[in-house]
Amino acid sequence: ESMQGKGGSAGGGGGGAKKSDVLAGVLPLIRTVCDHVRQVEAELGAPLVRELREAHRRYARSMAAARAAPDGKDGGSPDAGDEIVALQMDPDLRRYLKEMRNLRFASIEGLAEGHSFKHAFDADRKARSSDSRAIKRMKRISAELSSLAAGDLPVEAGSAIFLRSDEEAVGMLKALIIGPEETPYENGLFEFDIYLPLDYPQAPPRVKLLTTGGGKVRFNPNLYKCGKVCLSLLGTWEGPGWDPGKSTLLQVLVSIQSLIFVNRPYFNEPGFENSMGNPRTEREALLYSYRVRRDTLRVAIHAQLQAPPQAFADVVAVYRRLKRRAVLDQGRIWRIEAHRFKRELAKEEAKGRDGDKRRDRYSFGGGWHSAAYAKRNTACHDEIAATCAALEQELDPNPKVVSLEDVADAEARRERRRALLRALNSSDGAAAAPRAGATTRAWSLRPALRPERSSR
């Protein structure tokens, strides 16, 4: 209120408030906050107190610089706002970004052993010694890997791509993609085998998904249980294909990250996008996303933590250590959402809606809108809860009892962390624009997470 009063008086005078005036108004507020926090230091913890005191010192320095600046010019650090945002970020998240960016690319020995495309590599070995294409292939691979090692691979808190190569077996690669936030693949660890064939770059790379639960899980209409990846760049799907002069391995990896790992994967099936907006189709899309959530928690997170991919053991170790809290928050939110949606399905089952077992022609996999259909999807949500419990036991052996208030706090922390990261990632300090084609949880039936009364 005091800041608004200053702004109103400055605006009434016909001129904008200087940075020194703004900082002079903010500084007493920070002092007041620090005084209150000091009274409950034992309850809130020393790290928060240290960060608030550091923010106080930074603002004090900025105010002194603003006062010392010549008239008409703003002094102080131009990135003062970003510094304060960085202070508010989770310390574990800051360390996570710093350590993960050092692990984005590495060359390891013995990568070809057990590789999905070893047979193709062995078949091309004799031809490479006498084929003129081998020289062009080697130059192109060296140039691309050099740029990727220099930092072209995107590693952010919301999603990341890691790559491993073998100097002895050129063209044999492994990739790990951490599922993007605000999707059913969030924080999932998805491993891929990649082979750059003899006629590369005239021919596209060959890619296979390894995170399939032993060939039992299909994460997306474009990702088969056998590991096949359907993407136009790879020549396995319709659309703009591979361009030898322009297309790159990085483009393939980013396309998988942004075009396959989407927030509504149901509509990746050909023709399904035409039925967007249909209530029954939207219902099917939501159910499909919940099944993907279940598989992400069970196969791409829990199983990967129990048996990390050998080539990315260092990445998984940092993930377990520094992203543990974010993953636990995600699991608790998904669990409560699954429980609420389970209750909706139970109501449908009790009413016997569509009891004639009429097949929904838009249903992926041919689902039935009947009591049996609702019962099957209710079991899916029970599996989400069981997997979340196992994940909490893996990451937090001594958890406290989780209430609805805890879930609301977890969601608030996650949304606050995303807002801070968007502010940091934008060059001008404004919130970054959402990814093209993405929507903000339009598929989630998420009511406000408020404490509910219970007879217990």
In angstroms, what is the C-alpha Rg of the chain?
A: 26
Q: β-strand 160-165 against 105-107: which pairing, if any?
A: parallel
Q: Where are the domains of the chain?
A: 104-275
Please pick, among 226, 230, 380, 388, the residue that the annotation labels catalytic.
230
Predicted pLDDT at 131? 66
What's the pLDDT score for residue 152? 87
Sequence-separated contacts (24+) of 131-140 with Cβ below 8 Å: 131/198, 133/198, 133/199, 133/202, 134/198, 136/201, 137/171, 137/196, 137/198, 137/199, 137/200, 137/201, 138/170, 140/200, 140/201
Q: What is the DSSP string of 172-215?
A: EEEEEEEPPTTSTTTT-EEEEEEE--TTTTTS--EEEE--STTT
pLDDT, position 212? 95
Give the fold, CATH level 3, of 104-275: Ubiquitin Conjugating Enzyme (3.10.110)
- Match 């360390």 to its residue by tokens: 95
How many C-beta neighbours within 10 Å does residue 6 have? 15
Q: Is the peptide bond before 447 cis (omega within 30 degrees of 0)?
A: no
Do residues 206 and 194 make contact, with C-beta atoms less than 8 angstroms apart? yes
pLDDT at 435: 42
Residue with tokens 């009511």: 447
Does the reported pTM lie above 0.75?
no
For 32-69, the DSSP string reads: HHHHHHHHTHHHH-HHHHHHHHHHHHHHHHHHHHHHHS
User: What is the total residue count of the chain?
Assistant: 456
Residue given tokens 């140039």 in the structure block:
143
Please give the order of strands across the beta sheet that includes 105-107: 105-107, 160-165, 172-178, 189-195, 206-209
What per-residue confidence (pLDDT) applies to 229?
Answer: 95
Cα angle, residue 411 at apex, residues 407 and 413 outer, rounded to 5°: 115
What's the pLDDT tens digit per position in 132-157? 778 888 889 999 999 999 888 999 88
Q: Identify whether the C-beta of residue 371 lies closer than 8 Å to the C-beta of residue 351.
A: no
Predicted pLDDT at 68: 56
Cα–Cα distance for residue pair 100/93, rounded to 1 Å: 10
pLDDT of res. 130: 61
230 assigned to active site? yes
Helix, strand, coil percent content, the chain, rounded in steps of 5 = 55, 5, 40
Instruction: For residue 193, list its beta bridge partners.
Output: 174, 208
Q: What are the mean pLDDT values of the chain's consecutive 10-residue runs (456 residues total)?
A: 46 53 75 69 54 61 56 42 46 84 91 89 74 82 91 89 90 95 93 93 94 93 94 86 92 93 91 83 87 93 94 94 88 83 71 48 41 60 84 72 60 72 56 40 36 43
- What is the pLDDT at residue 73? 45
pLDDT at 324: 87
Give Cα separations from 374 to 289, 296, 350, 388, 406 (angstroms): 15, 21, 9, 21, 29
How far is residue 451's CA from residue 340's CA, in Å, rounded to a whole number?
14
What local confidence, expressed as pLDDT, does residue 47 receive? 57
| pLDDT value of position 449 | 39
pLDDT of residue 376: 58
